[in-house]
Chains A and B, each alone.
Chain A
């Protein structure tokens, strides 16, 4: 079986203008959303307490709310099934979160002895702040590391194009999380960074072909070379991402609430990763003015290990 039996190269580069326009538009919308609505940060970043409790019968959220009425800004919602309830308590300056969750649980037990503690997470304010700064640092380090590697392995234009394309994915994932106000937690951050590393693969594979084509297709001009590289790697792109997506979809369906947003972030990242590394990174490389001459120079430097 074969999905892609393409005889002629698809002129991707002549669509470059449109695809970049679409990217720019989604990018601007995502940035706008992030600026106005912001992200719905989980307690990993904001600090606070989350409790998951389980009842032997469908839970009465009204009653739970009434029991917690004395505490301001408490959110009570069903979680997964009608018997599971998620309670969120904001940070309080004077009470230790560790003590607070005990008090809440004692109150609930008083109302209904069948309640069972499933999970308690309390994060203090200083920890949350550190996680935000560590997360940003990790993002920066990953970007620099990947750029450095690509600059050594290929050329600075490729490095720049790949990182622009992939940071654009990251912003779009964040845009989705902002639009739907999905909870942005630590695992989601991990997913975002994993996507960054993963979808750069895509650019690398295309760039590899571009480099090879510069060697083989002596008579073609740059857009033709890039078109050919993309067309010939398309099959692999779709199949690889399809397989990874199969796994991620499985996590989305069977992984439960704990892995839900993690898998969701990966899904968005994978879908946009295909698009951006093919239709955003390559036009940027072209516009940055890559030519056979630059490339042969770079080729000489790394020639020994590349061949």
Chain B
């Protein structure tokens, strides 16, 4: 009795070996690295030698380069060199490449070839920024309606339907007509061209009210959040962050996590910008001075140009930033002022050509709108029809500003404004501190429990401690295999599950003592102790598991990490406390006659 069959011992040994191997990378730690990636240029061995030469000429020592299809990673010995190397490489490689700070595992190559990776460290352990952003869905709707308004106006003009007024009232458009005939004609035109709009006609005043249909509404909202996520991703790429996380959360929220970002002000500035580009016509027919003093002419808006001069601009939008393909900073080739060169997509090009052809000699205003604050970047006179979709914006810009504007435009416009509703920033030094504290807590707690268990239960205490150690390795291994994110509450969870896991062994040991007291032989006591304690262990673990699952479902961020560790820890502890400890006990006592058990 008290002998496990070979296959059972084999499986236990195999699990322990696998657990040990996969837990191992976590103990090698991580080295500072620089990650080079690109969306346009090639990542290949040629780049590798370029980087190598660049670093050599700057006298920066690297400790390894790793090439994969998506990126080139260069490892350094310390963060100082890493920071210097980032600057050197960014200037050397230019705008085509994104150079970002990263961490690389120090584990040896044979471990990496097994696919054994260390746990992914959360932001509270490695430092970085976490943002939760809320998309303003109402604004997405009103922006869509504003676009519809402009298009309906053009459509009615083309169809030669006369209307006496058109405006947006909240989320609805209101179009007024002089007679029933035009109103009827407009209804048929609009419903043909704008299937997303539901029209209601009020007979007495010849008025049409247009509203978005519910499906169209949800489609716009869905599109808005997708568009915003894409935009954020582009902006983050421009920032140069390795392994950023940008995810939708719920129906109207986006989570952005930027590990290792040091300059949080810059990150917030770029991400928080809700700039959209609009092209509208300047109203030169009305007198500017009069508009400043008196009522602003209907359909116009009084804005400020960059540089502070007021300017009268029409409210109707002729082109939005959606149609921008690319934007690059550069210089005006006539005045050599800083400028932004914009490439429009085909629809945009067509529209732009039309507008410029219709308005030669007039001025057009290019607006950047940030958080309901519109600013006219420039208002050039249209000298000729502009085809081909190449547009240049210049005027009152420094090269730095041109660079920023280009970045914003290239990164695309946001479909709806966003607001940061939660922010958690952790500096890198605090992250390192947190790791040390979490590690120390676990270590000292483990040592204290070990000393107590060995004194109190002697051999069986020692077996329990070995099982507890196996539990730690298995838990870390499972977390590493799942590439779970380790946070400080997660580390607390590891410590806590270890403290709780010893319960199973205490239960078993107490039962064995009980059985011995009742006069059973040592072998029978071991067997009965394990068998009887098992039901209790299951029961007591399941209640904790229920708590863990609830925490996982309802917890957010760091609490979720705690819950994951808690649940996995319960599972690994059942394995190690029952099977591993039993296997050891079997090895120690199983094959012979035992006079007395050393269980204190």
Contact = CB atoms under 8 A, between A and B. Distances in A.
A255 B433 CA distance: 10
A99 B562 CA distance: 30
Interface stretch (B51-59, B287-295, B300-308, B451-459): B451-459
Contacts of A283: none
B444 interface: yes
Contacts of B424: 119-122
B539 A124 contact: no
A271 interface: no
A149 B455 contact: no
Given A122-B422, A243-B499, A247-B499, A187 B544 contact: no
A168 to B, nearest CB: 16
Interface stretch (A20-28, A61-69, A196-204, A284-292): A196-204
Interface string B399-428: 000000000000000000001111111110
B427 A134 contact: no
A98 B266 CA distance: 12
B423 A98 contact: yes
Interface residue range, chain A: 35 or more
B445 interface: yes
A138 B456 contact: no
A137 B552 CA distance: 12
A194 B544 contact: yes
A79 B20 CA distance: 39
B445 A251 contact: yes
B455 A1 contact: yes
Nearest to A121: B424
Contacts of B427: 54, 116-119
Contacts of A1: 455-456, 600
A301 to B, nearest CB: 16
Interface residues of B, number: 76
A153 B535 CA distance: 11
Given A102-B265, A255-B441, A119 B430 contact: yes
B437 A246 contact: no
Specify the main secondary structure of chain A where it touches its partner: helix
A235 B506 CA distance: 9
A182 to B, nearest CB: 17
A146 interface: yes
Contacts of A127: 132, 421-422
Contact of A141 (B452, B507, B553): B553
A131 B499 CA distance: 28
A190 B562 contact: yes
Contacts of B551: 138, 142, 190, 193-194
A142 B547 contact: yes
Given A54-B429, A254-B444, A193 B550 contact: yes
Nearest to B545: A197
Interface core residue of A232, A242, A247 (most chain B CB under 10 Å)? A247
A187 B545 contact: no
A196 B548 CA distance: 10
B556 A131 contact: yes
A233 B496 CA distance: 22
Interface string B43-80: 00000000000000000000000000000000000000
A52 interface: yes
A52 B549 CA distance: 32
